[in-house]
A and B are shown apart, each in its own frame.
Chain A
């Protein structure tokens, strides 16, 4: 106990000693910061240009980041937030904590115009399956619902992809969404609290398909030389997740924050994100996408609600989902 307190004290001292170089505090999600995540490379890359100290602070995921910001309010020490997505930006803007950012060119499949946020990567949600076991995957939610395939999905109340799926069905089917969910009910093995449970259960053979991203097979292909995973192309189109970064109005290092956002949009940072976050870069680097990405499915239609619309539809869409699956 004593040594822990001592260690904590020393750590606090160490932090204050470093305060002489300017510090940029970036609040992000958990999976951004480990050794194998984008964090260390982005940190090293930016620190080489800024004569500053970049410090990451992590919360569980996008929703946890926003909840933490709201807990801290205007008194927060955070300068930059990295890892909200477009289902949270309306809510985030409404807090009044964010300052406008300089827009940067992007190669998103949809138009993006949010004055407060800068996209840094994006992906299409998709049902991922094992192509050695399933040779003719369904081509729409209706076909999936009519089949006896078993799927794993995440809970929209605790998981970002889970919420993405609910919005996907809502965007594709509108008022028919409850009907689609009722038809899907007998295909759903279970609903997990987060992506990690669902995806690892899928890998251990608990279901035929799992809700993930169209880019998930790229990880297996590039990092594991495993070609057995594919994403199913749905004719309704695929819902998008766009991950964004923003600058806090109360930041005490606004120039540094701007510099970091500019760096984030650069080829160097974008190239890092592709194979550490396994998402598409917000702006395709000059060198193009890594080999293997050309094998991924390319949805013809991208679905996405505007932030304000997503915000107003969310509670109702979750309630529909819950009612249909509780029958």
Chain B
């Protein structure tokens, strides 16, 4: 517990400290009139994106859980890929499908229907769902897999109708998981600014993060930046506390068999499941494939720095995945043992941190001791681990709670040492979400462009930075090729870690 507390304090200090460091050098303290409008739009798009991602994840995760089909494993793995895409590449992928000259509009035109424009609030939400629905689905899938299979068999032998099965078995799990999922998606969207601006269609779609950007860059108004960053922290804390209040542990009791397939009802339910899976696969994979195919022609003409950048990106990704997994494990186990609001808040806090404020804060903090650009990679590693922490924590917390509830009395009565308990019970049961989460952290870290841009010297470009620099020099084809390499590497890392988790899940 003390280790967890210290970690939580450290995280809070790092994140809140960055805003404090800016505040310390502030000369004026005022928000701009446009900031309120930005707040309103931020909340609207984040709220809608969270609700839609969480709701769509329910039928999708259930369909994926109870149906078996060729390519199921690949589909589930591929669903982590949007996370690894650099933002520009993902948007171009979405536009290839939904854009002005994409297939959707071609079909609409052929049918004589009015053209679809992706630009506007709906486009922002669509992009957010593209990024976050896979994550929401995967967390829920873990939830479904966490319902002991013998409960479903018992329900069937009692001839429980599907509706009653849903109410007694699935609903409690959903109630335990959905608030956390909605919370994560909401917080991810809270700090997005490139998506909102690019697809929002104009300055109406301004977010708080854009205001921070403007305050720090053009106006150099540190007070306003710190105020806006604090506003994001307060929002994050409020939403996290609210989610804690409504989220309940599922309470099935310990199960023997977590690996059996759930019953797969026939008839229209089967048809509906197939429709869900096909729709989701098309929505998530088509833009992804579109983005990747563009990279193929440029593969023969890669810029010279690609391989070193790849090595750097992989090193940073693995490092931050390891750091993040250890931290999240300690925090989740502590939070599972009893009410630990502070720990839970600290674990969610990184999501509300503005990348720019965090970067600027670290810059101020480090500069007296070393030239910041010499530390670009360690700092990127640390910040990426921090930014992925909330996802891993959310993945680990529900199963950790379940384990605590199911096994703590048994292990206490057996007098198992903490190490034995960790090795024999906790880790095997948590292996799947833990490794999946580590893979996710690695993918997130691979795709992240945020902090490195503040610190990069003439050496040390990572792949996302290379993509950005290539587009900046009109080299779109090479940029697409590097993006293809980035996604392939990141997907490989993710799949390896995910597989490792499934292997270690055997008790």
Contact = CB atoms under 8 A, between A and B. Distances in A.
Interface of A: 1, 3-5, 7-8, 11-12, 15, 30-31, 33-37, 39, 55-60, 63-64, 66-68, 70-72, 75, 77, 150, 155, 157-158, 163, 185, 188-193, 195-197, 199-201, 203-207, 216, 219-220, 223, 276, 278, 314, 319, 321-322, 325-326
A157 B213 contact: yes
Interface string B435-446: 000000000000
Contacts of A314: 218
A4 B319 contact: yes
Interface in B339-398: 360, 363-364, 367, 370-371, 373-375, 377-378, 381
Contacts of A276: 473
Given A200-B476, A206-B95, A325 B381 contact: no
B322 interface: yes
B95 A57 contact: no
B204 A196 contact: no
Contact of A63 (B201, B218, B476): B218
A75 B322 CA distance: 36
A77 B367 CA distance: 10
B194 A197 contact: yes
A185 B202 contact: yes
B202 A195 contact: no
Nearest to B37: A326
Which of A190, A199, A207, A276 lies at the interface centre, i.e. has the most chain B CB atoms within 10 A of its CB?
A: A190
Contacts of B214: 157-158
A44 to B, nearest CB: 13
Given A1-B322, A197-B91, A220-B474, A190 B202 contact: yes
Which of B37, B194, B218 lies at the interface centre, i.e. has the most chain A CB atoms within 10 A of its CB?
A: B218
B457 interface: yes
A3 to B, nearest CB: 8
Interface stretch (B68-76, B146-154, B163-171, B464-472): B464-472
A325 B476 CA distance: 30
Given A15-B374, A158-B210, A201-B92, A191 B303 contact: no
B203 A155 contact: yes
Contacts of A220: 474
Contacts of B217: 63-64, 67, 158
B100 interface: yes
Contacts of A67: 216-217, 220
Given A30-B453, A57-B373, 14 more contacts: A4-B377, A30-B456, A33-B458, A34-B466, A34-B469, A39-B458, A60-B454, A64-B217, A188-B201, A191-B201, A195-B472, A200-B471, A319-B34, A326-B37
Contact of B198 (A190, A216, A219): A190
Given A36-B303, A193-B197, A200-B88, A8 B473 contact: no
Contact of B220 (A3, A70, A203, A278): A70
A71 B377 CA distance: 21
B246 to A, nearest CB: 35
A190 B471 contact: no
Interface of B: 34, 37, 88, 91-92, 95-96, 99-101, 117, 119, 193-194, 197-204, 206, 210, 213-214, 216-218, 220, 303-305, 315-316, 319, 322-323, 360, 363-364, 367, 370-371, 373-375, 377-378, 381, 453-454, 456-458, 461, 465-466, 468-476, 479
A70 B204 CA distance: 30
Judged by DSSP, the binding face of B is helix
Contacts of B96: 204
Contacts of A185: 202
B202 A191 contact: yes
A8 B378 contact: yes
B473 A34 contact: yes
Contacts of B305: 34-35
A71 B363 CA distance: 9
Contacts of B200: 190-191
A48 B203 CA distance: 48
Given A31-B472, A322-B203, A192 B378 contact: no
Nearest to B25: A71
A238 B156 CA distance: 75
Contacts of A66: 220
Nearest to B195: A193
Nearest to B93: A204
Given A34-B473, A64-B217, A192 B197 contact: yes
A63 B468 CA distance: 17
- The 10 A-B residue pairs whose C-beta atoms are closest, nearest first, are A157-B214, A31-B472, A56-B458, A205-B101, A196-B471, A63-B217, A219-B474, A322-B203, A34-B469, A325-B202
B224 to A, nearest CB: 13
16 contacts: A1-B322, A15-B371, A56-B457, A57-B373, A64-B217, A67-B216, A70-B220, A77-B371, A190-B202, A191-B197, A191-B203, A195-B472, A196-B472, A200-B88, A200-B471, A204-B96
A197 B198 contact: yes
Contact of B204 (A1, A77, A158, A326): A326
Contacts of A55: 457-458
B472 A30 contact: yes
A189 B227 CA distance: 32
Contacts of A15: 371, 374
Contacts of B476: 200, 203
A56 B194 CA distance: 27
B307 to A, nearest CB: 12
Contacts of B323: 1
Contacts of B194: 193, 197
A37 B210 contact: no
Which of B117, B197, B201, B360 lies at the interface centre, i.e. has the most chain A CB atoms within 10 A of its CB?
A: B197
A64 B200 CA distance: 24
A70 B22 CA distance: 12
Contacts of A207: 100
B457 A7 contact: no
Nearest to A66: B220
